[in-house]
Chain A
């Protein structure tokens, strides 16, 4: 187990290094000059000398390999650098924003699992019936409605018409816990909508598969109650692939909640990443991507470990 984790961690470091390098190179390949952008805000013509001054100050005139070496050197010492835009510490910004994004993802995953697993199980148990059709229909609709449409409708109905919730935004938990949770529900609920559908579909397929297994027949032959069979022998076993998918989906969501954050004005990591890319703020982009990829790799490891715990047949060895 420990050896496995060590092996995977080594692989992770390698993976993250490749990702960081890739992003660094791609960023320099992408058109757009951070200094020029910063100084031509508001569609004004930037003074070429001022741009040159800023480029020099930001170290953008150094050869690419030197910039790369600087950057990697910084990353190795745990220094993610400072923003090109206002000199803010990238580490500080990530520390501030990452928990907000994780909060949305975790809340969404919980909601999605709480709704998706029973729905998927029900659809499988009643496969072919009207309830299965209904769940299949609802999940398709949920999967096919873009979050920005859901978001706009939610805001229109709940904030503008019914005035039940604020029109998006963020309040720290320490300041106002109730309002914080209320505001959290908007993006989390919207993310959960699509995630719910994925989980429900996955659960349905998985439960249908497990229902056909011999051990379920054994459980029936033992005279166990329906609930017990469902819980211990069907859902328990069916959850292994579902959890894997949920883990992967959560991984994708780190840095993938851009639209939701935009629509609900939730100041998370994804929105930060997009604004950094828009401004070609290289240290910010590389720093955020590095953190996201580390988290992603870590989450994968956790998924693997959890699967191994759930399914003793999987052994964590290489």
Chain B
């Protein structure tokens, strides 16, 4: 989004949202799923999501848990829809590329766990970019 001359610094307010009990538990859960440090994830969320989306993260996560990636086990483990459609953390194109790369590795004979671990590393790379 564009920066305004008279823009307020929203970082402290966004941080307060993320450290509320429910949000904090969720951020820790996502950090564990993606295997990245909590502080790093918080910083990423503060930089990339607006205040209302941060407020709505727990509700969106619950919907993702119930409905996202029902048909494909690889997509479910990677969180293909969960982290793009439901929680817009990763860009669609990046997640698609990671998903296809993991699927290619599985088809080529790599063990599922190793392919998923590779996918996780790629997701971390995207988040750190």
Q: Are both chains from one complex? A: no
- A interface residues with partner B (beta carbon < 8 Å): none
